[in-house]
Amino acid sequence: MSDAPTTRRRFIQSSATAAAGATAALNLTAATTAYAAGKGTLKVGLVGCGGRGTGAIQNAMNADDDVQLVALGDLFLDQAQGTLRTVKRNYKDPAKAKKVAKNVNLYYGWDAYKRVIDDVDVVCMATTPHFRPMMLKYAVDQGKHSFVEKPVATDPVHLRAIWDTCQEAKKKNLAVVSGLCWRYHYPKVETMKRVLDGQIGDIVSIETIYNAGTLWHKGRGDKWSDMEYQIRNWLYFTWLSGDHIVEQAIHSLDKMGWALKEKEPARCWGVGGRQVRTDPKYGNVYDHFSLVYEFDNGIRGYHQCRQMSGTASRVRDYIYGTKGIADIFGHRIEGEKPWRYPRRGKKNNMYQTEHDEMFASIRAGKSINNGEYMCKSTMLAIMGRTAAYTGQIIDWKKLWNSKQNLAPPKYELGPLAERPVAMPGRTAFI
Ligand SMILES: NC(=O)c1ccc[n+]([C@@H]2O[C@H](COP(=O)([O-])OP(=O)(O)OC[C@H]3O[C@@H](n4cnc5c(N)ncnc54)[C@H](O)[C@@H]3O)[C@@H](O)[C@H]2O)c1
């Protein structure tokens, strides 16, 4: 797979006295070997200092008593500085302050991810999804544990690459914990456990819905190149986000995979388009999809998702069986053996739990690896997008071997043409 070319290394120290570009060696205490198990400070860092990353790194810092933030990296310095400000504000209490290194290394530029990974034992990855495969590969090559936000790729070529990396991580006993957070939400875990134990009989069909409103758009800065404009507005460019079915509705498709024990669908067909979000500022993504996934055992999975303001929001997943129906978001089962998650049942912050479990697994020397489901759920979403974009019936095996690679010709903050909006019947399956 392609990797980002190394550009001039950019580094600054976070202390008030350090000048930009100050001697990097002073502050670099690179963790060059994998942290295996047991006690000792775990150094953590973040690549991708946006909204989710800023939350994820604090989840990591709260997950274990002996964790220290040592590095933050982003393509853009303003983003890394913003995360540092937030973290410092939230950790200024003396009891917590030791969790932030005196000088947190701030990196920016295309190779910031490598510098962060070099510095840490555990890295949180929350950049724009396109970059996940190259970043996880570097982390696993360096023997580092990773928390990996969803989705994990935006095309089949990079999905295959990250699949291989996850296998490699397993061999090295490195944690790869996925940001498909509902798998760490206790009420949903309990509901799904009952589905998997047969409480609704044999599964006949699955309905997943992610109908929501629109998200942010950052406009265009005067000095931004095309590449910067697209990355700062990454939701609207398929090469960066995968489209909203991959970036957002993956949470619902992940429930389909979960209920069917990651069984792959044989084929998928459906429709999608761009009905409301037609302004050129919305790049080349669609605003709705509706798909059918057909499995060889006769099960069908139905999925619809929408991002349109002024429409009814509805995010629900239902699993229909021969003896009952599971309402995954309602945490209940109706049918021969009705059940609902107790009102006083244990509640949890799933974002925190995924980090708690990751750090506990690292300490125990039995690192969690969510690689299989995070890759397959990403592929389910890419499959739906491909069916809608092409208007064809998409075969899982052919898609898995597809040569579609959405990477740009080069990673550089310069000119970058926007790809056209896909047209069913005209856009080819590659
Ligand atoms: N699990 C969840 O519930 C959940 C919620 C929100 C977001 N997410 C996921 O988290 C990821 C980030 O989403 P966000 O909302 O925080 O976006 P964001 O735009 O706020 O942050 C992304 C950050 O990545 C940086 N970045 C982009 N390319 C980079 C590169 N090559 N190297 C270094 N930094 C780079 C951007 O500059 C930006 O600061 C996405 O994959 C998104 O799907 C997950």
Within 98-171, strands assigned E span: 100-108, 122-125, 145-148
Neighbour-count burial of 271, counting CB atoms closer than 10 A to its CB (0-12 exposed, 13-18 middle, 19+ buried): middle
Which fold would CATH assign to domain 186-347+371-400? Answer: Dihydrodipicolinate Reductase; domain 2 (3.30.360)
Q: Whole-angstrom Cα distance, residue 128 to residue 213?
A: 20
- Ligand 1 centre to CA of 287 (Å) is 20
Ligand 1 binding residues, C-beta < 6 A: 47-53, 74-76, 79, 112-113, 126-129, 131, 149-150, 179, 181, 231, 247
Q: Name the DSSP class of 339.
A: E
Please write the tens of the pLDDT for every residue from 321-335.
999 999 999 999 999
Q: What number of other Cβ atoms are within 10 A of residue 221's Cβ?
A: 10
- Ligand 1 centre to CA of 244 (Å) is 14
Q: Do residues 270 and 386 touch, judged by C-beta distance below 8 A?
A: no
Ligand 1 probe mutation, 3, 7, 59, 74, most atoms within 8 A of CB: 74
Superfamily of domain 11-182: NAD(P)-binding Rossmann-like Domain (3.40.50.720)
Closest CA relative to residue 193, chosen from 333, 7, 313: 333
pLDDT at 28 over 70: no
pLDDT at 7 over 60: no
Phi-psi region of 243 (alpha: psi -120 to 50; beta: other; left: phi over 0): left
- Ligand 1 centre to CA of 54 (Å) is 9
The predicted model gives 134-150 an average pLDDT of 98
Ligand 1 probe mutation, 149, 352, 353, most atoms within 8 A of CB: 149
Angle between helices 186-196 and 250-259 (to 10 degrees): 40
Across the chain, what does the average pLDDT equal? 92
pLDDT at 346 over 60: yes
Please write the tens of the pLDDT for every residue from 56-95.
999 999 999 999 999 999 999 999 999 999 999 999 999 8
Report the nearest atom of ligand 1 relative to the CA of 179: 1
Q: Do residues 237 and 354 touch, judged by C-beta distance below 8 A?
A: no
Q: Do residues 321 and 200 touch, judged by C-beta distance below 8 A?
A: yes
The predicted model gives 266-282 an average pLDDT of 97
Q: Whole-angstrom Cα distance, residue 363 to residue 134?
A: 26
Domain ranges of the chain: 11-182, 186-347+371-400
Report the nearest atom of ligand 1 relative to the CA of 52: 16
